[in-house]
Chains A and B, each alone.
Chain A
Amino acid sequence: MKLTFNAEDERFRDEIAQWLETNLQGEFAKLKFRGGPGDEHMFSEERKRWEQRLAEGGWTCIGWPEAWGGRNASIEQQVIFAEEYARAGAPGRVGHIGEGLTGPTILAFGTDEQKARYLPGILNGTEFWCQGYSEPSAGSDLANVRTRAVQNAETGKWEITGQKIWTSLAHESEWCFVLARTESGSVAHRGLGFFLVAMDQPGVDIRPIEQMTGTSEFNEVFFDDAIAADLIGEPGQGWHIAMTLLGFERGVSTLGQQMQFQNELNELIRLARSNGAARNPNIRQRLAEAHTGLRLMRYNAMRMLSDTEDAGSESSALVYKLHWSSWHRNLGALAMDVLGPEAEMLESAPYNLTRMQSLFLFTRADTIYGGTNQIQRNIIAERGLGMPKEAKGR
């Protein structure tokens, strides 16, 4: 066990902290603490330019191999980067899907040609990605994907037809990776393919979905004989690739997320002290509980990311989403209670939410997206504890 960073890591920390301080200035100063959960719709153009600035500094895709433009950064360094990034209040990443999901997937399953085509755009912050998994009938039951991919006999190109839903940032993205059925008549996780599809083409129609926050961060995406630029891996391998990708989702980005949580908790403590709520014993206890929950999350994430033979680490990964989503939801509810009667008052008409209202409403989604709490518990019980699977209707 080693719970400290070494001298080289600390130098790395100084370097990124310094860089962020120098660069979060001028046109980027207004992006501080913006674009996070519940605020993704704000400043998208400026945040894309920020991605390019990060790239110029060599601060995108730091975990990628050097051969593909990364720094081959260690887990510790990736943790440090995520922490410093959030500590500085640097804006929510528009490039996180490409960097964290598409890139690692292409690195793991793509050909050299595919790597050469797609990785530079992600690295440079010039091409952004969205994730085409969920469908109206494939939410918790993700394997129930109905979007079809048919290979055109003349051109050899795969053509995609179907509907995706809850697609975050589709309207800001050049590319979408799409899980689609390559084998007609196949069911569940068999017969799927993993496709890369350009969003700017006639066969793709993007319609925003209005959230209960009054904003639109996610979309419905309709594919009508849209042409896929590439298939990753082989037809039929889609489910395996998709699941591997979801594993990347639990990676180091969680540490940055925790730093955002810490920022939110700090803000809430500041509010409670200023409006007198912090004198209320019940609120005090709940703030203390929130603080404790966040530390638990941090240690658990560090342990999860440790390269260890510890038999518990698999379980620690399985329980992680359930823990943070529930914690964050409770923080949102606590924020409303700290504010008391004023909690309902909007920042301004017609429907501009305060930061705490955004937090509260957005956290209602945390226990749903990326696998609901109920699905998480099933996974913990079935995969973690080896319990029998729940009966399905097919």
Chain B
Amino acid sequence: MDFTFTEDQLAFKEAISRFLKTEVPPEVLRDICDTEEGSTSELRQKMAEQGLAALSVPENQGGLGMDDTAWSLLTQELGYYAIPDSMADTAYVASGLLTALPEGTQQREQLLEMIAEGSIRIAVVHGVNPLVVDLHLADKALVEHEGEVHLVSREQFDCERNTSIDSSRRVSRLNFSASSASKIAGADDGSGVWAETLNRGALAVAGKSLGLAQRMLDLSVDYAIQRKQFGKPIGSFQAVKHKLADVVGGIETAKPTLYRAAYALANGDARADLYVSHAKLACCQAAMVAARHGIQVHGAMGYTWEADLQMFMKRAWALQASWGTAEFHRQRVADDILADGVAIGPQYTFEG
């Protein structure tokens, strides 16, 4: 048992973290939220230059060939800085999907190369995630249809752009008719690929949520130390302290579930669904608790537009039902542990 990351993974995470911190401080985040699209191609391009786009593309297609465990770190950074961009959808979820398809699948290698270069946006559309971020901006969409994989170009589908409670998000439903021309993989190959893809989508949301939780905690701790009432920092009152202690409790207990799930995905674990659902539930829950206690600790300030906290809270709230609601993921856990012939017994207690 070893939860440590490699030096490469940690160094990459550090570099990205420093980059995002410099590039997207809260005032820049606000400016981007105010733009028509709630995102900018400049930021996207810069992130690609940092190697994010190529992160998990296979080396053969010009990528860095890192796996899900690296993404479990990087999605936390994307969450911590509330990066207003759907980069992970292309560079992690779509890239993972394409990589999982058999070699030689129509356009597979070409698209992976474009992802690695940062020259394409690919949206992933699945029934569990009907509202797709930045779908209207995507060059291509990979679409689930009865277990098959369909690839459609922007000019072949319609979508209506909706604004979100999170000012940076633009979400859309896909309107398109599947045909034999759009199919790039049948249900034989597709089913397994989609199961994996759904897990990647959920894991990306889990990682971002956990990063957001940490950011909200940091902001709240700062505020509780600096804000005085009754002649003392409010952080000296137990009622306030305990709220934030509960937040860090949620974050720290969720973190290993995220890593466990990433490891399961990277290694093709047969029970990956279970581990991913653990992670999605625990990380989103940690973010919800951080949001709820964060605003409470900030008092009325936390309810204002001016306080940065609201941007992080709204992102956390929007992500809550993204790539599967809590109900969906609890159901998956229940389906696993209540199945016939499930591996339950003393010899399995600490397995996995």
Known: A134-B300, A364-B295. 7 other contacts (CB 8 A): A137-B228, A212-B305, A345-B164, A349-B163, A368-B299, A374-B296, A390-B237
- Cross-chain pairs A/B with CB under 8 angstroms, 22 sampled: A139-B229, A139-B300, A209-B304, A210-B305, A210-B306, A211-B304, A340-B321, A341-B129, A341-B322, A344-B131, A344-B165, A345-B162, A346-B164, A349-B163, A351-B167, A360-B317, A365-B300, A368-B295, A372-B296, A374-B239, A392-B231, A393-B231
A-contact bits for B298-313, CB 8 A (1 contact / 0 none): 0110111111001001
Is A344's CB under 8 angstroms from B317's CB?
yes
Query: Does A144 lie at the interface of the complex (its beta carbon under 8 Å from any beta carbon of B)?
Result: yes
B-side residues, CB < 8 A to A, are 129-131, 162-167, 169, 171, 228-232, 234, 236-237, 239-240, 288, 292, 295-296, 299-300, 302-307, 310, 313-314, 317-318, 320-322, 325-327, 330
Give the residues in chain B near A166, CB-CB below 8 Å: 300
A346–B321 Cα gap in the complex (Å)?
15
**Interface residues on chain A, size class:** 35 or more
A80–B36 Cα gap in the complex (Å)?
49
Query: Does A336 lie at the interface of the complex (its beta carbon under 8 Å from any beta carbon of B)?
Result: yes
Query: Does A373 lie at the interface of the complex (its beta carbon under 8 Å from any beta carbon of B)?
Result: yes
Chain A 341-390 residues near chain B, CB threshold 8 A: 341-346, 348-351, 353, 357, 360-361, 364-365, 367-369, 372-374, 377-378, 390
Q: Which residue of B lies closest to A357 (CB)?
A: B165
A139–B305 Cα gap in the complex (Å)?
18
Is B303's CB under 8 angstroms from A337's CB?
no
Give the residues in chain B near A360, CB-CB below 8 Å: 317
Least CB distance from B70 to A in Å reads: 27
Is B229's CB under 8 angstroms from A141's CB?
yes
Is B162's CB under 8 angstroms from A346's CB?
yes
Closest 10 CB pairs of A and B: A393-B231, A394-B231, A393-B232, A374-B239, A210-B305, A141-B229, A212-B310, A344-B318, A392-B230, A341-B321
Is B300's CB under 8 angstroms from A283's CB?
no
Is A140's CB under 8 angstroms from B306's CB?
no
Least CB distance from A328 to B in Å reads: 13
Query: Does A214 lie at the interface of the complex (its beta carbon under 8 Å from any beta carbon of B)?
Result: yes
Q: Which of A346, A365, A392 has the most CB of B within 10 A?
A: A346
Is B325's CB under 8 angstroms from A367's CB?
no
Query: Does A280 lie at the interface of the complex (its beta carbon under 8 Å from any beta carbon of B)?
Result: yes
Least CB distance from B266 to A in Å reads: 27
Is A283's CB under 8 angstroms from B171's CB?
no
Is B327's CB under 8 angstroms from A283's CB?
yes
Residue among B231, B234, B239, B303 making CB contact with A377, cutoff 8 Å: B239
Query: Does A201 lie at the interface of the complex (its beta carbon under 8 Å from any beta carbon of B)?
Result: no
B-contact bits for A122-166, CB 8 A (1 contact / 0 none): 000000000000100101110010000000000000000000011
- Known A-B contacts A372-B296, A393-B232, A394-B230; the reply to A341 vs B130 at CB < 8 A is yes
Query: Does A282 lie at the interface of the complex (its beta carbon under 8 Å from any beta carbon of B)?
Result: yes
A341–B295 Cα gap in the complex (Å)?
23
Q: Which residue of A lies closest to B128 (CB)?
A: A341
Give the residues in chain B near A209, CB-CB below 8 Å: 304, 306
Least CB distance from A163 to B in Å reads: 14
A329–B295 Cα gap in the complex (Å)?
12
Is B163's CB under 8 angstroms from A346's CB?
yes
Least CB distance from A279 to B in Å reads: 11
Q: Which residue of B lies closest to A394 (CB)?
A: B231
Chain A 160-174 residues near chain B, CB threshold 8 A: 165-166
Q: Which residue of B lies closest to A364 (CB)?
A: B295
Q: Which residue of A lies closest to B325 (CB)?
A: A340
Is A337's CB under 8 angstroms from B230's CB?
no
Give the residues in chain A near B239, CB-CB below 8 Å: 374, 377-378
- Known A-B contacts A337-B325, A392-B232, A393-B232; the reply to A211 vs B165 at CB < 8 A is no
Least CB distance from B321 to A in Å reads: 4
Give the residues in chain B near A214, CB-CB below 8 Å: 305
Least CB distance from A152 to B in Å reads: 32
Residue among B163, B171, B234 making CB contact with A350, cutoff 8 Å: B163
A360–B313 Cα gap in the complex (Å)?
12
A346–B166 Cα gap in the complex (Å)?
9
Is B166's CB under 8 angstroms from A344's CB?
yes
A344–B321 Cα gap in the complex (Å)?
9
Least CB distance from B338 to A in Å reads: 14
Q: Which residue of A lies closest to B161 (CB)?
A: A349
Q: Which residue of B lies closest to A393 (CB)?
A: B231
Give the residues in chain A near B167, CB-CB below 8 Å: 351
- Known A-B contacts A210-B304, A392-B232; the reply to A342 vs B165 at CB < 8 A is no
Give the residues in chain B near A348, CB-CB below 8 Å: 163
Is B325's CB under 8 angstroms from A344's CB?
no
Q: Which residue of B lies closest to A215 (CB)?
A: B305
Give the residues in chain B near A392, CB-CB below 8 Å: 230-232
A139–B171 Cα gap in the complex (Å)?
38
Is A368's CB under 8 angstroms from B300's CB?
yes
Q: Which residue of A lies closest to B232 (CB)?
A: A393
Least CB distance from A268 to B in Å reads: 16
Residue among A344, A364, A372, A373 making CB contact with B164, cutoff 8 Å: A344
Is A140's CB under 8 angstroms from B310's CB?
no
Q: Which residue of B lies closest to A209 (CB)?
A: B304
Give the residues in chain B near A283, CB-CB below 8 Å: 327
- Known A-B contacts A346-B162, A350-B163; the reply to A341 vs B299 at CB < 8 A is no
Least CB distance from B32 to A in Å reads: 15
Is B131's CB under 8 angstroms from A369's CB?
no
Give the residues in chain B near A357, CB-CB below 8 Å: 165
Least CB distance from B198 to A in Å reads: 14
Is B165's CB under 8 angstroms from A346's CB?
yes
Least CB distance from A257 to B in Å reads: 19
Is B321's CB under 8 angstroms from A140's CB?
no
Give the residues in chain A near B131, CB-CB below 8 Å: 341-342, 344-345
